[in-house]
Amino acid sequence: MTLESLPSNEEIPARIIGDVAGEPQQTLLLITACLHGNEIAGLKALRYIFEYLESNQIPIKGRLIALLGNRKAYMINERGIQYDLNRIWHLETIHNIEKHKKDSPEHQELAELLQVIHAIPHQKYQRRVFLDLHTTSGANGVFAIATDTSDVRVLQGLGAPIITGLAGKLKGMAMKYLDTLDYESFAFEGGLHQDPEAFYNIILAVWRTLEHLDMIETHVLPQNIVEKAGIDKLVSECAVPKFLDVHYVHHIKPKDNFAMKPGFRNFDFVRKGELLATDRKGGIFAHKDSFLLMPLYQKQGEDGFFLTE
């Protein structure tokens, strides 16, 4: 893939997926989808939500605005083109974005996202919430990622396991920057990239978030949407702990030749000493009993896996 062969701007879907507002203007919910371009379930789910709100004339209390992340990577179904768009939100980069926006396609995307975000009158709202939507390359990847600012009651309302201690271990995430703008930030991983269930999980997660933030009166989603979502399954049926804390991140570089051992799923329990992956130096083993998270089964990515307890 060369930069010249990327689609031109005209062919790329709009940055703003949806933007609706109504009285009282107390709460602002900002959502991003496709910060990783190949994670398309979030975009589809948001399109469904905005369509559903409109066709059923459901008023929003506050403002709901959703943005498309890495539009160029989305067009070619890649996680990113040159960088991971969810690892470049450094304050130094953002404060000098005019200078940095030519650094890479992702820096250009960041500059355009910041333009929209900075135009939102944040101060107008008593409560600002940021939700970042993702999907995973390993099976069973349905969970919420908490930050220091997120409201645990909102996250518990989602029904999925809650991961703490992760956001602090990764640098340059969008959530970290939105925290500095006084947003309560969290992320939701909806499941396996191409699994239709991820689409339903994300619809339900966004809906539950709107309910918990009191941004919609009680309106029910169609029963077939709720039935197809497996968001509650991990905690209720698979006995995955409701809260897990990340104690280890395996960072990787392309030259590592990292390869995850096949067959792992999110939340698999691994024993101390168990072989998890290999790289050019040999085997990579669990250093203590843990629940495995986000085993990497795609070429692109800067984190091989996470261990939680």
Which residues are at the interface with Zn ion (CB under 5 A)?
Answer: 36, 39, 134
Minimum distance from residue 135 beta carbon to Zn ion (Å) = 7
Based on DSSP, count helices (H) and strands (E) in the chain, helices before strands. Answer: 10, 14
Spell out where the chain has E strands: 16-22, 27-33, 62-68, 127-136, 142-146, 162-164, 184-192, 243-251, 259-260, 269-270, 275-279, 282-285, 290-293, 303-308
SS3 assignment, position 225: helix
| Residue among 198 and 244 whose Cβ is closer to Zn ion | 198
CB of 39 to Zn ion, least distance (A): 5
Cα 218 from chain centroid (whole Å): 26
- 62 or 295: whose CB is closer to Zn ion? 295
Taking the least distance from each CB to Zn ion, the nearer of 36 and 250 is: 36
Structure tokens at 39: 């994670």
3-state secondary structure of 170: coil
Q: Report which residue's Cβ sits closest to Zn ion.
A: 134
State the nearest-atom distance from the C-beta of 60 to Zn ion, in Å.
26
From the CB of 264, what's the least distance to Zn ion, in Å?
Answer: 18
**Residue 39 or 184: which CB sits closer to Zn ion?**
39
Q: Which is nearer to Zn ion, 69 or 230 (CB)?
A: 69
Judged by beta carbon, residue 37 or residue 165, the one nearer Zn ion is: 37
* Whole-angstrom distance, CA of residue 264 vs CA of residue 24: 46
Residue count (the chain): 309
CA–CA separation, 69 and 72 (whole Å): 9
Task: Report DSSP state, residue 248.
Answer: E
Which of 62/141 has CB closer to Zn ion?
141
| Alpha-carbon Rg for the chain in angstroms | 19
Q: How far is the CB of 23 from Zn ion (least distance, A)?
A: 34
Q: Which residues contact 26 (CB under 8 A, 6 or more apart)?
A: 61, 62, 125, 126, 127
Q: Report in angstroms how near the CB of residue 34 gets to Zn ion at its nearest.
A: 9
Q: How far is 141 from 234, CA to CA, in rounded Å?
A: 10
Q: Which CB sits closer to Zn ion, 43 or 286? A: 43
75's tokens? 């067009």
